[in-house]
Amino acid sequence: MPLFGKKDTKKIKKDGKDDRSPSVEDKYILKDLLGTGAFSEVRLAESKEKPGQMFAVKIIDKKALKGKEDSLENEIKVLRRFSESATPQSGGGSLTSDNSGEKRWLTHPNIVQLLETFEDKHKVYLVMELVTGGELFDRIVEKGSYTEKDASGLIRQVLEAVDYMHEQGVVHRDLKPENLLYYSPDEDSKIMISDFGLSKMEDSGIMATACGTPGYVAPEVLAQKPYGKAVDVWSIGVISYILLCGYPPFYDENDANLFAQILRGEFEFDSPYWDDISASAKDFIGKLMCVNVEERYTCKQALAHPWISGNAASNKNIHSTVSEQLKKNFAKSKWKQAYHAATVIRQMQRLALNSSQQQEGTGSIGSSGSNSTQYPEQSQVNYNQHTGPLGPSPSLPSSNLSN
């Protein structure tokens, strides 16, 4: 049975007419390989109907995906909700009604759109809007000048897109820098949110599945509590922090300590890295990275904060410090491996159990004999490394369908 329950019979009628569904090759010329992952590859594609019009096609191997079909179905369901260029029947959009009863498409300029889907016996093809501007951190490093105002503008775009998602009942659940791409190489290019493999339609208002990327995941997810839209706001807070200093807010050589930091929301504005950052920026981050979900800002509240909506963001050039830290902490080879939050939680539970068995009377998950301000050359845990301002700390790489 095909993944989407549609049989491609490839039959020819007696009158000679082709009765099969169109294939991706019927409509597109598949070209250069743009990227690969465990389950998929992404290729450049040119429209046969409109030569010169280019797209990205995500090609997913059904055999490799076996057992994870729900993730793909979910990604397509969410992407269709934010797409407008094709009809719902061909896989491109979702219609809703406004107050006047008039039908309208759900779309946002900062969300990568799914245009069409195709399927054959062995593969699923997602025809996507082509985004060519590169990854967020790469562009910042390449810039000659970079200020708080620049960071504020980037975060404003992300907040607007995520606020739109939340209004439509979608929670991304895996917001991180790797999923923020520039639309084009232009200097004033907009930011696009991509990779909806872990996104969820928030039908009931709360969710409980452990997922996401641990370095950016909210405390309530690590604590295995029911959660909602607020998890995305936490992740935006983490991204905002990194954009202003170049290193992550939570880092420790010991993984149990790292998880405990996130659960308690323990982070610092270290000197000298934060000395030139405005008080408004720090206040903004604190409002987003608040452990108490009830007190954590919503996207709308964040958009109204003076650091986003006013003139509180500084125009001082912080490029040298931030780019140096980004290059040190987020080398491309370090952030491309999959590591699910659910796996981290299981490891965290084992560590907590071992800690309680080995250290009588110590109930904290973060208890260990290590000094949190002294780090060895290599982490003892089997993760890639972030190198924070105080030394190396465990990197918890990304988790998504394409990797």
Residue 42 phi/psi, 5-degree rounding, is: -120, 130
Dihedral over alpha carbons 170, 173, 175, 179 (to 10 degrees): -80
357's CB contacts (< 8 A; 6+ apart) are none
**Residue 355: its H or E element:** helix 341-358
**How many residues are recorded in the chain?**
403
Place of tokens 């964040």: 302
**Two tokens at 288?**
């987003």
Q: Determine the Cα–Cα distance for residues 253 and 289; give it in Å rounded to an integer.
A: 22
With contact defined as beta carbons under 8 Å apart, do 192 and 181 qualify? yes
With contact defined as beta carbons under 8 Å apart, do 258 and 252 qualify? yes
Q: Determine the Cα–Cα distance for residues 230 and 248; give it in Å rounded to an integer.
A: 19
Ligand-binding site membership of 58 (annotated): yes
b/e burial code for range 343-359 (CB count within 10 A of at least 16 → b): ebbebbeebbeebeeee
310 DSSP β-pair partners = none
Long-range interactions of 318-322: CB distance < 8 A, separation 24+: 318/146, 318/147, 318/148, 318/244, 318/276, 318/277, 319/140, 319/143, 319/144, 319/145, 319/146, 319/147, 321/245, 321/246, 321/273, 321/276, 322/140, 322/146, 322/243, 322/244, 322/245, 322/246
With contact defined as beta carbons under 8 Å apart, do 258 and 394 qualify? yes
User: Which one of 174, 195, 252, 255 is the catalytic residue?
Assistant: 174
With contact defined as beta carbons under 8 Å apart, do 75 and 401 qualify? yes
- Please confirm, yes or no, whether 8 is among the known catalytic residues: no
Q: Determine the Cα–Cα distance for residues 312 and 315; give it in Å rounded to an integer.
A: 9
**Two tokens at 390?**
């105080």
Which residues fall in the annotated binding site for ATP? 58
Residue positions annotated with a catalytic role: 174
Which residues fall in the annotated binding site? 58
